[in-house]
Structure 1
Amino acid sequence: MSTISEQRSGYGPSVVLHDLDIASTRSGWLLTALCLTYAVLVFCLWPDRYVELARSYAAPFIFFLPMLLAGGLGVAALMFAWRNPANFMLGTLRARWIGAAPIILLFYLCITAFTTVRIAIPDMVPFHADRFLADFDVRLLGADSWIWEHRFVSGPVSALIFWSYEYCWVLQWFGTVLFVAFWNNAAGRLRYLWALALTSILCGAVLATLLSSVGPIFYDQLYGGNRFAGLHAALAATGYGGSVETYAAYLMGIHASGRPELGGGITAMPSMHVAFVTLNAFFLTGFGRRWAIGGWSFAALILFGSVYTGWHYAADGYVSILVVSLIWYLTGRFVSPNASQLSRAASEAASDIGLPIPDPART
């Protein structure tokens, strides 16, 4: 059930929407059940790892997410209510916190399960796909994919690639989830959350396990030889690749010890960096051409960076794009119409009154 009531604020009519929308429709209940089943199943399989990772993720969720939310609301206030940003931010929190809280909680439970599975993958299926993937790159491009990229991009441009891949990607991933949690569009919100859950499970768990692989950065360490020695030399030559080697050593330590650590797990195929930015690019396309250009440009940068940094083969990103494209199409066919029909009354009432955060394409 949803309750909609009008209130007055300093910048015009607002609305308080009390609706646990993640579980207010059949599609929402199924999504909630899927996420909880995934989390519970992973917990039952690896309880110690799951609990330890839940503790590790608690600090970022308690401290980082509120800061990111405050920054995001500040930007939205400047876009939609620059005359009275404080009332806008408070009104948005008041209108959506009840609906947003379960979404953030499910995200927390599922990201913990996501990392738990990725750490456990080599225990279930030993790494085996790298030789095929590396050879496929050579057959497709005539040489290892990283060679082409480092041949054309070097020097200061490398800094943008490393910074975007390591930091901006995380901000976009978490920031988009927060935006969706506080967004007015119930049908659009449900479609995105379904796509996010399916992307995380199908790409991050199922395909990553079946195609267990380490990526170019770890190839020589785990398979022997010096096939990718040139990659490490190229990263060092950019002057900005030290962070990649540092994080690779961190992941290798987790792999060797089996201990659960934040962001742990060595998996290459498919690329989750590319998967999430592709999903977000599809999502942003719905807001108009400017948002589409920004979303797809960033997706192209991350696709390029996934190979340039040595974490992935070219095929890792291509598979992610194909799978996420199919997921986005299917959620549009089966989730959006159902959610739109079941939430039509609430959506029309909210549209008439004017919720704090409108669709950017309409402003």
Structure 2
Amino acid sequence: MNTVTLFNVRPTFDWLFLALVAIVVAVCGAILSVYGVPFDGPASYVVNAVLYLISWFLLELPSYGMALRTSRPESPLAFTGTYLKQRWPIYRDALPLVISLIVFMPMFSKMKAGVSLFTQYTWDATLIAWDRAIFGTDAWLVLQPIFGIPIVTSALSVAYHTWVLLIYAGSIFFAAYWRSLRQRFFLSFLAIWTIGGIAMAVGFASVGPAFAEPLLGNPTFAPQMAYLREANEHWPVMVLDVQETLLAWHRSEQFGLGRGITAMPSMHVALSMLFWLAMRHVSKAAGWFFGIFNAVIFVGSIHLAYHYAVDGIVSAILAVVFWFLSGLITDGRSGRREPAGKFQSVQA
């Protein structure tokens, strides 16, 4: 088998997308270097790669288990080799997109952590005013009679942090297993992170309710934080430790994977909205599940003091706009499953 066939290096969308990501990463790296943020070695990229590979492995296990159960081979080792050889086209075709994710996410985190280098956090007062104009008061107070129960708060905090699975397992799903949506999904994905998560995060620099007092000296949300700490005495509210860690990283100017404080727009809401828009094409049940999950993330973003309500509203609109535009670019391709993503029996 020659090299071109083995690695599929034709100028497909996947490779063009990788080139686009490489340009974005290079530009971001150059901007950070101007502000004195050096390349801090491969550690973040290695960690990110491991997370994606583990996610890919776990997603592949059901197919492997089904093949193993169907074939019942005498030699599991030989069977595994044959299985991997048969599945190689799927892995090969997804590889450019996975590489894109591996190199992009740590750079995004560095840009997010560097927002305070580029500008001042000046938008919180405006965002608070917008929330009050819409709801008549701070949005968390509107939600508090319904969700202000320690066990509910704890459950929301768990759900809020399972969101990270969308970045890893969710992206692998569209890269490898639902190929007819991959172009539309990944164009929307990149737009959300770059235009929303970087450009708009700088343009609307804000810290959010949890960090308003420690970073801006604004005690508006001290009662909300007091409730979260009190709820934590009854049921674990895992966001509190994460918020303390983010604050410590910010104060020590540490740039790395998963770091950075910004409120507008909410990447949690934008990405969960994107998954709802995409998963509706996978199945009706998946659409319902991710629609509910998106609603939970939106409520959690406010109740857990990460975001103002307008952060989530703007983010949801952004996701819809990017999904629509990427649909025009890719001719609005539907969610029809392609043969390469299907399980095929393996003979060993």
TM-score normalised by length of structure 2: 0.84
Q: CA deviation at 1:42?
A: 1.2
Alpha-carbon deviations, 1:46-80, whole Å to 9, x = none? Answer: 24746327422412422x33322222122455689
**RMSD of aligned Cα (Å):** 3.0
* 1:327 aligned onto 2:308: no
Greater shift, 255-264 or 309-318, is seen at: 255-264
Contact 1:20–1:102 (Cα < 8 Å) also in 2: no
Matched, 1:67 2:54: yes
Aligned-residue offset at 1:246? 1.9
CA gap of 1:317–1:89, structure 2 versus 1, over 3 A, is: farther
Is 1:190–1:336's contact at 8 Å kept on the other side of the alignment? no
Match of 2:21 among 35, 41, 45: 35
Partner of 2:301: 306
Query: Unpaired runs of 5+ in structure 1?
Result: 4-15, 341-347, 359-363
Matched letter for residue 108 of structure 1: I
Residue 355 of structure 1 is aligned with which of 315, 340, 345? 340
User: Percent identity over the alignment?
Assistant: 23
Q: Hey, what does 1:261 align to over in structure 2?
A: 256
Correspondence for 2:239 among 218, 239, 244: 244
Q: Quote the offset at 1:19 in angstroms.
A: 3.7
- The answer to whether structure 1 residue 121 and structure 2 residue 115 are counterparts is yes
The residue that corresponds to 1:178 in the other structure is 172
Q: Residues 17 and 97 of structure 2 are in contact (CA less than 8 Å); yes or no, is this contact kept in structure 1?
A: no
Counterpart secondary structure, 2:172: helix
Aligned residue number for residue 83 of structure 1: 70
| 2:322 alignment partner AA | I
Q: Deviations over 1:129-155 (max 9, x none)?
A: 100111211221122111222221213
On the 8 A contact 2:206/2:263 being kept in 1, the answer is: yes
Which residue matches 2:31? 45
CA contact 2:191–2:322 (8 Å) conserved in 1: yes
Q: CA deviation at 1:204?
A: 0.5
Match of 2:205 in 1: 212
CA distance, structure 2, for counterparts of residue 100 and residue 145 of structure 1:
41
Which position in structure 1 is the counterpart of 2:76? none
Q: Deviations over 1:212-259 (max 9, x none)?
A: 000000111222242111011111122246532322222222222212
Distance 1:175 1:84, change over 3 A: farther
Letter in 2 for 1:198: A
Provide the residue aligned with 1:163 in structure 2: 158
Q: Does the CA contact (< 8 Å) of 2:106 and 2:258 recur in 1?
A: no
Q: Distance in 2 between matches of 1:169 and 1:356?
A: 24
Give the whole-Å Cα distance in 1 for the aligned partners of 2:86 and 2:135.
49
Distance in 2 between residues matched to 1:290 and 1:50, nearest whole Å:
46
Match of 2:40, as an amino acid?
E
Shift in alpha-carbon separation, 1:261–1:32, aligned structure 2, 3 A: closer
Report SS of the residue matched to 2:70: coil
In the other structure, the counterpart of 1:7 is none
Out of 216, 219, 243, the position equivalent to 1:223 is 216
- 1:355 maps to amino acid: A
CA–CA distance in 2 between the matches of 1:248 and 1:140?
Answer: 27
Decide whether the 8 Å contact of 2:21 with 2:104 is kept in 1: yes
Aligned position for 2:43: 55
